[in-house]
Amino acid sequence: MPKMKTKKAASKRLKARKSGSIKRAHATKRHILTKRTTKNKRQLRGTLSIHVSDEGRVAKMLPYA
């Protein structure tokens, strides 16, 4: 059976932690940040875990994570 392919868009945005959970960044933090307040940009720092309901979909996109 051939190797499964990883969805490259997902691999660039999501990383697996050692515990097995998947981490992601906050949305709307890439560009056009001049209209956002400093407080809002500060609160968007750091990473989050993906939601439980999305774990199945992400597991299919990242088969070797």
In DSSP notation, the chain reads: -PPPPP-HHHHHH-EE-TTS-EEEEPSS-SS--TTS-HHHHHHT-SEEEPPGGGHHHHHHH-TT-
The pTM (predicted TM-score) of the whole model is: 0.81
pLDDT digits (tens, 9 = 90+) for 10-30: 999 999 999 999 999 999 999
The CATH number of domain 8-61 is 3.30.420: no
% of the chain residues with pLDDT over 70? 100
Q: Which two tokens stand for residue 41?
A: 């940009």
pLDDT at residue 65 in the model: 87
